[in-house]
């Protein structure tokens, strides 16, 4: 295991989980944050926060200098157009590579990409995540890198899936994708485990890993709703055209009121895609990793405690 790890996106849902797991394992974590001099949940003595951004080279030097590994977990997940995602997901990766390559002892790089990178034509987000991967593949030269493509991630601090989960708990299944759609899921703690395995595995390089919770052939919407609540009363299937209209309306509103939208026509295209099933065989084999948290257990844990609320932005 490396002794010092640089982590971007440390204030985010997945970044916080990584910072906590590593710091508790005795690793020194340097976390890049754009704001908040103190972030609740990142107070372990092994965590040092560095103010900066993927678009500020000076802060990236401070972050990376002397680190054995770099985990790039920063990402833009909101926006309408490609330009909204480029600064972080594309130019940000270029900047990180530039700083890594300038080090006398460059760190190994773990890039948190997304399964969305498999389908770049669906949305600007998906395109930008694939671009980030391409830059690493083409420009990392002699650097040691691993790209991880998670599917949808859930767990304490997540806000994207939580509203759907909470509705289903109350008896309302809000289905935002086609009936025949299949997708993988992963608990954030299984994702951080796989990242730790990548840090430990010295021989693995230049590889893209898809990772999931080990559920074979993916979940259907119905199967997830059933795990959440076997006594669901109302099942609302939103037709793709209506979803698209909602996405378009949100885009227009975001322009009028100047906010960065999560739910867009691009997100609808992702939701309507029928195959988001991961193939995690290579990750399990090469990293000798076994996911530990099946969906039922992950959800039980999430709803059985105050875990829902562990997040800086709550
Ligand atoms: N959550 C999922 O289901 C999922 C699935 C697949 C892949 N991923 C990928 O996992 C990564 C983390 O996602 P998440 O769910 O944890 O998202 P999140 O909670 O929105 O966190 C994103 C993080 O990136 C930081 N960030 C954004 N732009 C930055 C910039 N220009 N410079 C420095 N930091 C920047 C944010 O900082 P601020 O706090 O300052 O905004 C935040 O810490 C992303 O790359 C995402 O694409 C997530």
Mean pLDDT by 10 residues, the chain (314 residues): 93 96 96 83 93 97 97 97 97 98 96 98 98 97 95 95 94 94 98 97 91 96 95 90 96 96 96 97 96 96 68 38
Question: What's the CA-to-centroid distance between 227 and ligand 1, angstroms?
Answer: 28
160-166 own/partner pairs: CB under 8 Å, 24+ apart: 160/77, 160/262, 162/308, 165/228, 165/299, 165/302, 165/303
3-state secondary structure of 3: coil
Instruction: Give the pLDDT score at 203.
Output: 85
Instruction: Give the pLDDT score at 202.
Output: 78
- Is 234 contained in some domain? no
- Is 32 contained in some domain? yes
Instruction: Give the pLDDT score at 37.
Output: 66
- Is 245 contained in some domain? no
- Is 252 contained in some domain? no
Name every protein residue with a CB atom under 6 angstroms from any ligand 1 atom: 8-9, 11-15, 32, 34-35, 53-55, 73-77, 87-88, 92, 112, 114, 129, 150, 152-153, 160
Which atom in ligand 1 lies closest to the alpha carbon of residue 125? 47
Question: What's the CA-to-centroid distance between 228 and ligand 1, angstroms?
Answer: 26
If one residue of 31, 70, 74, 92 were mutated to test the ligand 1 pocket, choosing by the most ligand atoms within 8 A of its CB, it would be 74
Which atom in ligand 1 lies closest to the alpha carbon of residue 116? 6
If one residue of 71, 77, 78 were mutated to test the ligand 1 pocket, choosing by the most ligand atoms within 8 A of its CB, it would be 77
Q: Which CATH number is 99's domain given?
A: 3.40.50.720
Question: What's the CA-to-centroid distance between 3 and ligand 1, angstroms?
Answer: 24
Whose alpha carbon is nearest atom 24 of ligand 1? 74
Question: What's the CA-to-centroid distance between 312 and ligand 1, angstroms?
Answer: 13
- Is 126 contained in some domain? yes
Question: What's the CA-to-centroid distance between 239 and ligand 1, angstroms?
Answer: 29
Question: What's the CA-to-centroid distance between 231 and ligand 1, angstroms?
Answer: 34
If one residue of 18, 75, 83, 159 were mutated to test the ligand 1 pocket, choosing by the most ligand atoms within 8 A of its CB, it would be 75
Cβ atoms of 181 and 242 within 8 Å: the answer is: no
| pTM of the model as a whole | 0.95
- Is 128 contained in some domain? yes
Taking the mean position of all CA atoms in its chain, how far away is CA 203?
24
Cβ atoms of 8 and 96 within 8 Å: the answer is: yes
**CA nearest 77: which of 208, 251, 267?**
267
Instruction: Give the pLDDT score at 40.
Output: 79
Q: How far apart are CA 73 and CA 107, in angstroms?
A: 15
Residue 29 is part of which domain span?
A: 4-151+187-211+277-292
* Total structural domains within the chain: 1
Cβ atoms of 3 and 177 within 8 Å: the answer is: no
β-pairing, 108-112 with 172-175?
Answer: unpaired
Question: What's the CA-to-centroid distance between 126 and ligand 1, angstroms?
Answer: 14
- Is 238 contained in some domain? no
Q: How far apart are CA 70 and CA 222, in angstroms?
A: 38
Tokens found for residue 36 = 């908040």
Local structure of residue 8 (DSSP, 8 states): E
Instruction: Give the pLDDT score at 313.
Output: 38
């Amino acid at each position: 295991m490396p002794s010092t790890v640089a982590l971007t996106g440390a204030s985010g849902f997945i970044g916080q989980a990584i910072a906590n797991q590593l710091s508790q394992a005795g690793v020194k974590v340097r976390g890049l944050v754009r704001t908040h001099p103190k972030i609740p949940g990142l107070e372990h003595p092994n965590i040092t926060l560095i103010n900066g951004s993927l678009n500020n080279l000076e802060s990236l030097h401070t972050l990376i200098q002397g680190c054995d590994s770099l985990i790039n977990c920063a990402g833009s997940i909101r926006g309408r157009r490609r330009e909204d995602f480029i600064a972080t997901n594309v130019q940000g990766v270029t900047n990180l590579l530039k700083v890594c390559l300038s080090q006398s002892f460059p760190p190994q790089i773990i890039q948190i990409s997304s399964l969305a990178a498999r389908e770049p034509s669906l949305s600007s987000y998906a395109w930008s995540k694939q671009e980030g991967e391409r830059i690493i593949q083409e420009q990392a030269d002699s650097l040691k890198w691993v790209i991880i493509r998670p599917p949808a991630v859930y767990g304490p601090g997540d806000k994207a899936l939580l509203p759907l989960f909470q509705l289903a708990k109350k008896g309302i299944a809000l289905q935002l994708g086609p009936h025949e759609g299949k997708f993988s899921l992963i608990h954030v703690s299984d994702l951080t485990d796989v990242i730790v395995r990548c840090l430990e595995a010295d021989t693995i390089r230049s590889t893209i890993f898809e990772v999931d919770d080990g559920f074979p052939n993916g979940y259907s919407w119905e199967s997830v709703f059933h795990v959440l609540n076997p006594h669901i009363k109302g099942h609302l299937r939103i037709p793709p055209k209506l979803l698209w209209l909602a996405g378009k309306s949100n885009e227009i509103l975001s322009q009028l009121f100047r906010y960065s939208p999560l739910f867009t026509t691009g997100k609808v295209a992702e939701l309507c895609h029928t195959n988001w099933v991961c193939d995690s065989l290579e990750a399990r084999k090469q990293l000798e990793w076994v996911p530990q948290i099946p969906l039922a257990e992950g959800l039980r844990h999430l709803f059985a405690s105050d875990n829902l609320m562990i997040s800086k932005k709550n």
